[in-house]
Amino acid sequence: MSKHADSFLSHCITYTAHDSTGVTRFTGVQHEVNHTSETQLQGWKDVIHEMCTVYNECMVGATAGVADPRELVTKVKGMLTDHAEDQKKLVHLFREWKELHIKIGQEQFSALTLPEKESVDFFVWAGYCMHKDLNAVKGGNTCMQAWWGRNGVDGLVLLMNRDNAAAASGGPSTAQARAVHVSQGGAAKALALAGSVFRHKDNKKGQQDSLRFFLEAQLSYFSPWPDTSNTRYHSNCDGASEWLIHENLYVVYLKIIMDRKDARMHTNIKQNEMVCFSMWGQCISHPYFRTVRNSSGNILDLGPLHNWLITHIKKLIDNIELVFSMDATYETATFDGKPFERPESVYII
């Protein structure tokens, strides 16, 4: 399993212990010169070589035998990564590398039993469940925005930066057309902008410190804005819920600290899109995360769970009143039938 952030890559290995339980071990963080799949594969080669070297140096004189990196590679049965294209390519490269190290002739292979053949050939790739939800939210947002044009409805208000706003206001021109083309709008953009103000990914920027004092004075407690500036998993859904619950407070706060450009961001926020993000998080994202985290098996055992998830989503599509009617309850609206994560947002919606 690998996960990258900035120019560092962390590695973990999961294996079956002597008592048949699954064990996951952290195998180090490496600094990578880039995020290419080839560089990441080399990182795995270095990790495996270092592990075997350290083992052999520690076991000199022991009867346990020598650890051979080539043999270890052939024992790898799969990889768990996110759904990014560089990770999919990494899995493909790793599998090719593994097959290069299988030292068994066709005649010997043919003599193996079926279970032995399956054991030699077996290799599976699986992606993070949290990333599945992120892709679902992104895909849903794309479809939601495309709906406006297909149905002849006025689209999203563009949230332009200062330069593009100036170009767009200058009358028909190439610059105006380009400013409109490159500008984005909608709830996802608004939430990202809100994150850059309320909780900037660079703690030297943003207004997170003053916001803390403001909210503590108003609410007697502080709950940080979801990490939309970093586009963390389900952060847009949580950000939409937070905005719906405390909109009046954030409006007052924006009036206090915003300049003209940032103030315009508030007036363009689309409430209907915020509702979609928030309700997806309440009915699907959080219940799905809870179910996955409470699962006692591994990711290969989650096929029935995902079939169940698809069935639940189709049920909500067929009967949206299960979510939005005045007598709707979490028992029928949420994927796991458990209480909403932020019931206040549901009541407001």
List, for residues 142-169, the tens digit of each pLDDT value. Answer: 888 888 888 888 767 777 666 666 666 6
Per-residue pLDDT, 183: 61
Span 221-258, pLDDT tens digits = 888 899 888 767 788 899 999 999 999 999 888 888 76
CA–CA distances in Å: residue 116 to residues 96, 170, 312: 20, 72, 39
Strands 78-81 and 124-127: parallel
Tell me: pLDDT of 306 over 90: yes
Cα 97 to Cα 38, 70, 174: the distances in Å are: 11, 10, 50
**Residue 223 and residue 212: Cα distance in Å, rounded?**
8
pLDDT value for 190: 85
Percent of the chain, pLDDT > 70? 84
Calculate the alpha carbon distances from 198 to 44, 66, 292, 345 in Å.
Answer: 38, 55, 30, 19
pTM above 0.85, yes or no: no
CB 144, CB 156: distance < 8 Å: no
Secondary structure element (H or E) that encloses residue 79, with its range: strand 78-81
Average confidence (pLDDT) over 329-333: 94
pLDDT digits (tens, 9 = 90+) for 168-208: 666 676 766 665 655 667 788 888 888 888 988 888 888 88
Amino acid 268: pLDDT: 42
* Length of the chain in terms of residues written: 349
Neighbour tally for 168: CB within 10 Å: 18
- Mean pLDDT, rounded, for 280-308: 91
Asked if pLDDT for residue 214 goes beyond 70, the answer is: yes
Under a CB-based contact definition with an 8 Å cutoff, are residues 69 and 52 in contact? yes
Q: How many CA atoms lie within 13 A of 27 on its CB side?
A: 22
Q: In terms of DSSP H, where are the helices of the chain?
A: 37-58, 69-74, 85-100, 106-110, 114-121, 129-150, 162-168, 174-182, 187-198, 208-219, 235-257, 260-267, 271-280, 286-293, 303-318, 321-324, 330-333, 343-348
Helices 286-293 and 303-318, interaxial angle, to 10°?
160
Q: Are 348 and 244 in contact (CB under 8 A)?
A: yes
Please indicate whether residue 333 or residue 107 has the higher confidence score (pLDDT).
333
Q: What is the DSSP string of 133-189?
A: HHHHHHHHHHHHHHHHHHTT---PPB---HHHHHHHTT-SSHHHHHHHHH--BSHHH
DSSP sequence for 95-133: HHHHHHT----HHHHHTS-HHHHHHHH--EEEE-HHHHH
Q: In the prediction, which pLDDT does 325 show?
A: 92
Interior CA angle at 82 toward 81 and 87, to 5°?
A: 70
User: Roughly how many angstroms between the first and final C-alpha of the chain, as a whole number?
Assistant: 40
pLDDT tens digits for range 120-138: 788 899 888 888 898 899 8
